[in-house]
Amino acid sequence: QQPVQSPQAVILREGEDAVINCSSSKALYSVHWYRQKHGEAPVFLMILLKGGEQKGHEKISASFNEKKQQSSLYLTASQLSYSGTYFCGTVSLESNTGKLIFGQGTTLQVKP
């Protein structure tokens, strides 16, 4: 079953912060985050494994709440280059093949 992302769309000014949420009805092994710009391939941002960790690089970080089967992506001091569609992909504990199931995406637009 597809994870649910919220919000569906966000509009920000440069320098503002955003949080994108990803929620699953299944027990998860891992959560992956990707950003896709229009007409381009998805770009891997980070992976969070079962264990409730938080990871990040530069001004983009993420957390994984194992008890709630939720992950959040945090974008701080947003830049124009952050614009795009963000997808979370989940691997469930019941999966023995590690296939990713993607959410429907969150469109982020950063304006000057």
Residue 105 found at the interface with another protein (CB under 8 A): yes
CA 32 vs CA 12, 50, 62: distances in Å: 23, 11, 10
17 burial (CB, 10 Å; 0-12 / 13-18 / 19+) is exposed
Using the 8-state DSSP alphabet, how is residue 97 labeled? S
Per CB under 8 A, the segment of 52-60, 65-73, 76-84, 91-99 that binds another protein is: 91-99
Of the residues 19, 47, 55, 65, which one makes contact with another protein according to CB under 8 A: 47
* Shortest distance in whole angstroms from residue 99 CB to another protein: 5
- Six token digits for residue 34: 């990707």
Binding footprint of another protein on the chain (CB under 8 A) = 2, 32, 34, 40-44, 46-47, 87, 89, 97-105
